[in-house]
Structure 1
């Protein structure tokens, strides 16, 4: 089942950028409005300094500041205490112990339950549908159980502030949508090289273009260079296929002509004719295999060096004899029939190294190495007198990560590497029962 379609890259970039700008705009608008509030509070509290003496005078006149003190003769009468500020003294229980004349006139008996008692700077409160700026004057009383508050109504001013806030949010939203449009335009322009790249790749797929342009931004330069290299390799492979097919057709034409000549030659006996026709067919088969491999991987790995077996066997057996020195192993090799194999020396060393390591590990005391020369192939056999390989594991052990013996250490890669090496030379490998009652790994390499 196909997975859920993911949004295109440019849409993800736009959505992420818009989300960031939206968050920034909200925070910016909120902070700006908070600054407006603080500015208004400071502005409407500017004349508090001039009003405090009158309020303190009224407080002293009512004998709250110092209980039992007679009012001095120079204190102002109540009519002079008319001010825009309302004052009151609250105890910790939220009860008003004293209220100014204006506060009493306004009937603010329960005002103490609305004011915050922990106040470091002027703040706003809402009382009976109106808004007030509240101040605390800590030095106005000497008692720790009482607090002196001064408030002033600012409802009209807050209406003006609300209008300013609406304008602030309007311009913030305008800024957000403008920035979103600019981001979309920038994203469209920034991703235009990718759209161009997709168009050119489609043209290459439709054989209307041979390679990508080179005028791409630096960030895409490495990508387009790699794609051009891949396109070049594809063209080389296509050319290789064409040349291989041409060569194969020419070679088969010659072999078919030779076969027809043999069929028309009445001087040949039936047995000799069959043998020579089989040889031609075998050669044609080898040519087909060779040309198909060359078309697939080129010449690499197909040049068959003639590697001698004896030096490699002697070197590897000597090395493993030292590694498994606690196990006396008798090595028997019969290589006279085919002293060399058409394999690269490094491949042959890797192949025998993995097989001899397994043989030394699982044998009891004997390891035999033989190489036979048959009419069609070289047959290399490595066998031991160990426990052998169970029938159910004889195919799976050549797969990567599979081991027939889970009790011994190993990665399950060695036999897979052997299978790949043998296959790269058109050979086969399998495991069967050994004459030594252990495992016999048999490999064939076509001539």
Structure 2
């Protein structure tokens, strides 16, 4: 399976390979097209030069025809006769409409071809390359010669272009050489440009590896504009993942902290010989039920966060009665009086599980540090509710009154504890847009004041 997966990975096309193959393919096509265009233009230029040179050679052609008695020019006879057609490299052929040779100049006759006109095309409005007796020639139909009783005869002018053909071949070879050199240079530049252009992606991959190995926290923000949306989205995802990991870690810590008190109360119930078996079973089932609710609550907090929990009106008296009953068992060696200074029907706009967590942490702290009295008071402050839990214990030194709401910070280093409970309270209250602080109690101990918006 691993070998198959490795083979599949290696066969997977790479983006860099695609870009390089596409770019080099485009350069190759354009290079071939450019070379063909250059050669075509040179051929057309050569033909045009031949046509222009042919106009200057017409008198020589006329002299060839005149010396063989095929034309008569009374006024130009002396001039034509004065020309020496042998000094021209142009040859002439007169063909009948049915492609029979009517006349050929001396150089053409030297080719020793029975009927040369059969080699010429019927329509030759443009110069044509031909191979005659091993020679490369250019044939051009010059004009039509009308004789009495004859149809249209055609006059062809020929020129040996072996040298020009060789020059054209040399030019074509040279053209392909330089085009190939251009192609290789352009391909090298494309490869270099591709390597440089894809360097941000390679750096992105390296940074992601560093993040997975915990050597880096987030991606840098100096990527090109085209990658900014991607890197920002990845940073948000990384941040959300870290927050989720933090929520899970806090949830597990909070769960352990919350279960500790329930387990202590359960142990106290098991050691209470005054309870009947039926009453003991009932009380233990209550503690197990509360622990199950606590586990479900903490898992939900870890999954959706505090803001995902539904806001609802939760009665205040019932959870306090349940918690004080549990704490009385856990701290049975310390007689504690809990004074409830609020309307028995009062409720708070907070999720029931959040309220249980808040009251459980604050009452457990109050029981631990008080001497004999704890007071729970609820005041209506207009747009907010103010819940105060105070005790008659030693209080909280002023230097710790802000830091104790941070995880792991404890004002009392003598008694056992984790420093998590008050941090959990601060997180819960903050999720409802409220706040919590500690001050001096009227009972000379600590007073934890919670402010919670009504809606």
Q: TM-score, normalised by structure 1?
A: 0.61
Asked if residue 125 in structure 1 is aligned to residue 130 in structure 2, the reply is yes
Q: 1:40 aligns with which of 37, 42, 46?
A: 46
Deviation at 1:159, TM superposition (A): 1.2
Q: Is the 8 A contact 1:63 1:71 kept in 2?
A: no
1:132 match: secondary structure: strand
- Which of the two has higher C-alpha Rg? 2
Change (3 A) 1:162 1:267: same
1:119 match: secondary structure: coil
Counterparts of 1:265 and 1:30, CA distance in 2: 104
Q: Which moved more, 1:136-145 or 1:249-258?
A: 136-145
Asked if residue 160 in structure 1 is aligned to residue 167 in structure 2, the reply is yes
Counterparts of 2:98 and 2:290, CA distance in 1: 112
2:103 match: secondary structure: strand
1:257 alignment partner in structure 2: 264
Change (3 A) 1:270 1:304: farther
Deviation at 1:58, TM superposition (A): 4.2
Q: Is the 8 A contact 1:61 1:71 kept in 2?
A: no
Asked if residue 176 in structure 1 is aligned to residue 170 in structure 2, the reply is no
Q: Is the 8 A contact 1:141 1:148 kept in 2?
A: no
**Structure 2 unaligned spans of 5+:** 315-350, 352-455
1:252 match: secondary structure: helix
Counterparts of 1:144 and 1:266, CA distance in 2: 143
Deviation at 1:16, TM superposition (A): 1.1
Q: Is the 8 A contact 1:138 1:148 kept in 2?
A: yes
Change (3 A) 1:95 1:276: farther
Counterparts of 1:208 and 1:271, CA distance in 2: 58
Asked if residue 49 in structure 1 is aligned to residue 49 in structure 2, the reply is no
Change (3 A) 1:306 1:147: farther
1:30 alignment partner in structure 2: 36
Deviation at 1:238, TM superposition (A): 1.0
Deviation at 1:274, TM superposition (A): 1.6
Q: 1:97 aligns with which of 93, 102, 110?
A: 102
Deviation at 1:235, TM superposition (A): 1.1
Deviations 1:5-47 (Å, cap 9, x if unpaired)?
A: 2332222211111111111111111111222222333334443
1:10 alignment partner in structure 2: 16
1:86 alignment partner in structure 2: 91
Counterparts of 2:273 and 2:151, CA distance in 1: 136
Q: 2:202 aligns with which of 195, 198, 210?
A: 195
2:286 alignment partner in structure 1: 279
1:443 alignment partner in structure 2: none
Change (3 A) 1:202 1:164: same
2:281 match: secondary structure: helix
Counterparts of 1:21 and 1:140, CA distance in 2: 52
Aligned length: 306
Deviation at 1:92, TM superposition (A): 5.2
Counterparts of 1:104 and 1:171, CA distance in 2: 42
Equivalent residues in 2 for 1:221-240, closer than 5 Å:
221-240=228-247
Asked if residue 116 in structure 1 is aligned to residue 140 in structure 2, the reply is no
Q: Which moved more, 1:279-288 or 1:107-116?
A: 107-116
Deviation at 1:196, TM superposition (A): 1.0
**Structure 1 unaligned spans of 5+:** 308-343, 345-447
Counterparts of 1:290 and 1:97, CA distance in 2: 114
Deviation at 1:93, TM superposition (A): 4.3
Change (3 A) 1:90 1:258: farther
Q: TM-score, normalised by structure 2?
A: 0.60
Cα RMSD between the aligned structures? 3.1
Q: Is the 8 A contact 1:25 1:176 kept in 2?
A: yes
Counterparts of 1:56 and 1:265, CA distance in 2: 142
